[in-house]
Structure 1
């Protein structure tokens, strides 16, 4: 007799990236035409040498690097985030309003654990980030989809119609995963005002903020003005990840910016789940914040160049339609009379391309999801992008 299984887990979908990897298990690809993997949005190279040296020095010479630290994270890192984010957003953030987590996924889970339980509702724009939906499913929280339409930018007006007495939070991701779009500042302000009127939390996941085109040296702009509200912490909870900016995916470092009262509740979750975030990872993140601003700017320029290549490539690819493109992602509509999950498996076999279908980012049975595909282009250079388009152009269903 099998051991018991939490019913909520039984109805939670398998991790999509792991599912896609199973599509290539046991398959071999011609060395002259290797697999192009655009399924996962994660750096595949090591951090810069200086950061690796800082990690090595800490591992060898700093005894504290191997011990438990504060549950809400290293004080120096919380102070650095508060200072830099206050400057970047033109607002006032205190170190006590910052917590460090084991990656941004844990940040989301920790915050959501304090906000919603079985029978509650959380509004997620579609297409959604699948791990957000998975956490809600595993905890018996109902996901309420908010269709973002052709623009992939959700409407606060449409969201208002979905709010019920069971609604606890609205979740936005900008730049968006999977859509790639950068939400305009006025849209975020409208959602903030909507959340405030209804006593809801507005969770803004800015994992990809370092690759937002509005951060570029050319514009000098900021992505939103939410932190300029003197009472921002009454409604706003911001999430962030160090994984993409400094290539620290394996060290798992993220952050939460929220009210001190909310972080006191978050501390209960983190102490139970991880006790404290990785000391070495925090040391790496702190060194990166203090030393790598110019390096990150160069990384952003490279990602924006690849974004331009994706836009140009889809403009010339017959039948395909680019819905959104930014940060690490292009979100597209394919022209074929087959579901996107079927098509993506065909692309593995026929084109040696691994992509994720829109069915992984939309509610079950979604007609839009059957037509959509996410392409994580950050890990392929201009040559790889050109080869990807050549293979897509040659594909015949």
Structure 2
């Protein structure tokens, strides 16, 4: 096969995991518990669906190309929200609307990197970040995380070379769920400024952060745009996964480069989706607060119910937002264990090998649990099945 950009990377992990279900039946007594993916499975709020329908029927512009960097009203709303949340000065010309947060990352890398450049990714990493770097011929430089799955800025500095263009942080983290403390984030921002690289901070899950205040103060720095590129997704907050709407916040000069990428890929983000995101931001604050409380309650159930598994040798490495990250006690690599869990326990979850370099053996002992779509009862059932495993 001729070498291509896509052949430089691996198959999509979630799609691979779904194939493990083929030929396996699940009875009423033990239905499948699917904790493989973070995407919401419920439709948007009924009033939001009505707003989408209203726009589809009566807003002619919703069916046409829009500005490449996004609906002006939505850019204004995002800027105001970021300024208010983080105590900073962000304006609409700092905001681009993208076709989901994955595209925001892709556009960011395209605007920063050339062939052979390097980007530092803490491990375990979000696999789509690694995939895009592979396809862009940009080297992903792994930064192993330490105690509590938290990366260390000092260790990151040792990895910087003349080809380094950016450091990526995901907080709350995918796959580990952990939240990076403000001082940790500040240390990485200081490092990025000192060494002349960008800090890309992916906050897809920020609406489900356990902190009541701002998760960091990066935007309080009047010169934040020299260093920081923030990525965000509307998919999780407003259940808009199928509409593909994300955002990035960066220097206007950076967005001028991003605009070139967006114009050649999608031209503009989905117009109905953008209107839905705007309506959600303006009208669903109380509802979103309730969604956050439910996710935090499920995180609590993950943590409080773990003791029986701990007694059998399991370790809870991280939990928060949509994810828990665990180490299993078996003498079986996780990429072998995970398909067996489908057949033997009716559980679909992803192995740590999907989030680690092939050269890092720790992924073989790890599993990711995306718990956002199962309630406390479902979490209890999942734990009982794991506790009963005899391998």
Distance 1:242 1:305 in 2: 21
Runs of 4+ in 1 over 3 A off after TM superposition: none
CA contact 2:166–2:197 (8 Å) conserved in 1: yes
Distance 1:93 1:287 in 2: 20
Correspondence 1:159 to 2:150: no
Cα displacement (A) at 1:304 = 0.5
Cα displacement (A) at 1:149 = 1.9
One of 299, 315, 318 as aligned partner of 2:291: 299
Distance 2:106 2:11 in 1: 17
Structure 2 segments unaligned to the other structure (5+ residues): none
One of 259, 263, 270 as aligned partner of 1:267: 259
CA contact 2:93–2:252 (8 Å) conserved in 1: yes
One of 198, 202, 208 as aligned partner of 1:201: 198
Equivalence for 2:323: 329
One of 71, 75, 88 as aligned partner of 1:74: 71
CA contact 2:308–2:387 (8 Å) conserved in 1: no
Structure 1 segments unaligned to the other structure (5+ residues): 216-220
Q: Secondary structure at the match of 2:211?
A: helix
Correspondence 1:309 to 2:306: no
Distance 1:367 1:151 in 2: 18
TM-score, normalised with respect to structure 2: 0.98
Equivalence for 1:218: none
Please, what is the CA RMSD of the aligned residues?
A: 0.8
Correspondence 1:343 to 2:343: no
Correspondence 1:358 to 2:333: no
TM-score, normalised with respect to structure 1: 0.97
Correspondence 1:232 to 2:229: no
Equivalence for 1:57: 54
Equivalence for 1:276: 268
One of 217, 235, 258 as aligned partner of 1:243: 235
Cα displacement (A) at 1:5 = 4.0
Equivalence for 1:37: 34
Q: Secondary structure at the match of 2:40?
A: coil
Q: Aligned pairs, how many?
A: 389
Equivalence for 1:142: 139
Q: Secondary structure at the match of 1:266?
A: helix
Distance 2:375 2:332 in 1: 29
Distance 1:11 1:75 in 2: 37
Correspondence 1:83 to 2:49: no
